[in-house]
Amino acid sequence: MEMDSDIWSVVEFQHVKPGKGPAFVRTKLKSVTKGKVVDRTFPSGHAITEVRVERRHFQYLYKDDMGYNFMNMENYEQIALNENLVTNPQFLQEGMKVEVLFHAANDIPLTLEMPTFVVVEVTYTEPGMRGDTATNTLKPATVDTGAEVRVPLFISTGEKIKVDTQTGDYLGRA
């Protein structure tokens, strides 16, 4: 939606009907351009200005001084996205398929959506001891994309693991 000369996405909302007084909607909005999250309350029935967005499939190519470069999967055009449009760029892998949301009227890229999880290889971690599976203790591990992920003690160098791209959490072995 468009509000205060910016584009916002609704993160969460709750319709509240108090016993006394009119109903209202409590929202948590995230600025698509700046990434700022704000809480706003709207009266029930409040009119908003909707923004039409398009999802386009792209493939990650490389990073240079212009930003992150992607290729459109349909017409093979290339675009460079600013670093602030890419959330968690440490999990981008060459050839990864992503979706870019565009403002339909202006044809401006708004944000990039990566897959929910990625499979990465652990390039370095401290060796685990035999029998280290009973506790939920985590240790740092560096993966092939350069990111650092907290993994269980039994994970060793060379193993492939699943990582959540939104939070950077270890999900399991791949």
What dihedral do alpha carbons 74, 83, 166, 56 form, nearest 10°?
A: -20
Q: Are residues 68 and 81 part of one domain? A: yes
Q: Are residues 106 and 92 part of one domain? A: yes
Q: Is it the case that residue 46 has pLDDT exceeding 80?
A: yes
pLDDT at residue 44, rounded to an integer? 85
How many structural domains is the chain composed of? 3
Place of tokens 């969460």: 12
DSSP secondary-structure letter at 34? T
Q: Is it the case that residue 155 has pLDDT exceeding 80?
A: yes
166 vs 27 pLDDT, higher one:
27
Q: Is it the case that residue 43 has pLDDT exceeding 90?
A: yes
Q: Is it the case that residue 132 has pLDDT exceeding 60?
A: no
**Overall average pLDDT of the 10-33 stretch:** 90
* Dist. CA 148–CA 146, nearest whole Å: 7
Range(s) of the domain holding residue 69: 53-113
**Overall average pLDDT of the 92-110 stretch:** 89
Q: Is it the case that residue 138 has pLDDT exceeding 70?
A: yes
135 vs 2 pLDDT, higher one:
2
DSSP secondary-structure letter at 89? G
Q: Is it the case that residue 45 has pLDDT exceeding 90?
A: no
> 110: which residues sit within 8 A by CB, 6+ positions away?
7, 32, 33, 53, 85, 100, 101, 102, 103
* Dist. CA 86–CA 165, nearest whole Å: 11
Domain assignment of residue 31, yes or no? yes
> 65: which residues sit within 8 A by CB, 6+ positions away?
none
Q: Are residues 105 and 61 part of one domain? A: yes
Q: Is it the case that residue 60 has pLDDT exceeding 90?
A: yes
* Dist. CA 154–CA 144, nearest whole Å: 18
The identity of residue 18, as a single letter, is P
Nearest of 89, 85, 71 to residue 165 by alpha carbon: 89
In three-state secondary structure terms, 92 is coil
pLDDT at residue 131, rounded to an integer? 60
Q: Is it the case that residue 27 has pLDDT exceeding 70?
A: yes
Average pLDDT of the chain to the nearest whole number: 88
Q: Is it the case that residue 40 has pLDDT exceeding 60?
A: yes
In three-state secondary structure terms, 83 is helix
Place of tokens 């892998």: 93
Q: Are residues 166 and 126 part of one domain? A: yes
In three-state secondary structure terms, 139 is strand
Q: Are residues 18 and 32 part of one domain? A: yes
* Dist. CA 122–CA 170, nearest whole Å: 11
CATH of the domain at 18: 2.30.30.30
pLDDT at residue 15, rounded to an integer? 92
